[in-house]
Amino acid sequence: MYHNPVLLKESIEGLQIREGGVYVDATYGGGGHSREILKNIGSGSLIAFDQDIDAIGNEISDERLTLIQQNFRYARNFLKLYKAVPVNGILADLGISSHQIDDGDRGFSVRFDAELDLRMNREKGMSAKEIVNSWPVREIRNIMFRYGDLKNAGKVAASIEGYRNGKEITTTTELKEAISKCAPRGLENKFFAKVFQALRIEVNDELGALKELLLQSVDLLDKGGRIVVISYHSLEDRLVKNFFKSGDFEGRQEKDFYGNLISSLRPVTKKPIVPTEEEIKNNSRARSAKLRIAEKI
């Protein structure tokens, strides 16, 4: 299976799909969430996005589906192009797919020796290899601290600098060799995963793209329309939580003259929805997932 969709039932229920409506799957992947949306929209339409060319090969044969190979940060441009605004719902399942993790050539997994790339769209942007070999050590340290939550980020960055002074870092194995002395004993794979995560977030500007999608959702959604976001680490979840609550990524709440909160979205649930123990048992990659829902006021 290309990707086992996480929180499938909960996300579809959260959309409150209306038959005949217009919906957006911002992260198509293997088409798992899209397939369920199509089952419920009747004569409606679904516009899906994915920047990974591999995902485009999973296109469902359905005239109601339009699949676009682009980052979801460009959703507004394409939805206007297709005269699909306003929409009744937006779904975004963030992070990387099982396929991307299990494909040994992509460099996303610490399990394989592969070119150090980490781009979701291999045709655009700067690869992780370029970052670790050319960026100043201070900037690498900041990436490791902000996106990997590594307490020894400075040591990791210094180790990368020391290694690259003698040899270019071109593969995942060479990166692991460069930072191996920084890894806590017995927790090496968890440590490496955090380093790879930090580089992946930077390479793909994942938080920047998420912010753009959230900001656009206010204009794209019809009144009563819903946005459902599944996140996998605290940085993403905090952005979603704050924006749904206040319309501000820092959580600052703007109020009118009478003290009423000024916001275009209303959080549907106070706390995030998380996978059941049974789902985690069947799909360990669902363990860190958090689902939040907001409705256009």
pLDDT of residue 18: 96
Amino acid identity, position 91: L
> Could you report the per-residue pLDDT of 206-225, keeping only the tens digit for each?
999 999 999 999 999 999 99
Across 238-253, average pLDDT: 91
Among candidates 5, 7, 3, 4, which has minimal Cα distance to 272? Answer: 7
Whether 55 shows a pLDDT value over 80: the answer reads yes
For residue 259, is it left (φ>0), alpha (ψ between -120 and 50) or beta? Answer: left
pLDDT of residue 2: 64
> Could you report the per-residue pLDDT of 32-51, keeping only the tens digit for each?
999 999 999 999 999 999 99
Across 232-261, average pLDDT: 86
pLDDT of residue 152: 97
Helices 153-164 and 172-179 meet at what angle, rounded to 10?
A: 120
Whether 1 shows a pLDDT value over 70: the answer reads no
Q: Which two tokens stand for residue 121?
A: 């769209």
State the Cα–Cα distance between residues 242 and 266, nearest whole angstrom. 11
H or E stretch including 235?
A: helix 234-246
Across 264-289, average pLDDT: 94
Among candidates 226, 293, 290, 280, which has minimal Cα distance to 4? Answer: 280
State the Cα–Cα distance between residues 149 and 172, nearest whole angstrom. 20
Across 177-189, average pLDDT: 96
Whether 101 shows a pLDDT value over 80: the answer reads no
Whether 77 shows a pLDDT value over 70: the answer reads yes
pLDDT of residue 96: 79
CATH of domain 122-203: 1.10.150.170
Residue ranges of domains in the chain: 8-98+206-296, 122-203
Whether 256 shows a pLDDT value over 80: the answer reads no
CATH of domain 8-98+206-296: 3.40.50.150
> Could you report the per-residue pLDDT of 103-131, keeping only the tens digit for each?
667 777 788 899 999 999 888 889 999 99
pLDDT of residue 104: 65
State the Cα–Cα distance between residues 144 and 89, nearest whole angstrom. 35
Across 179-189, average pLDDT: 96
Question: 8-98+206-296 and 122-203: same fold?
Answer: no
Average pLDDT, the chain: 93
pLDDT of residue 100: 73
Whether 85 shows a pLDDT value over 90: the answer reads yes
pLDDT of residue 157: 98
Q: What phi and psi, each to the nearest 5 degrees, are found at residue 66?
A: -120, 115
pLDDT of residue 203: 96
Whether 258 shows a pLDDT value over 70: the answer reads no
| Rounded percentage of the chain residues whose pLDDT exceeds 70 | 95
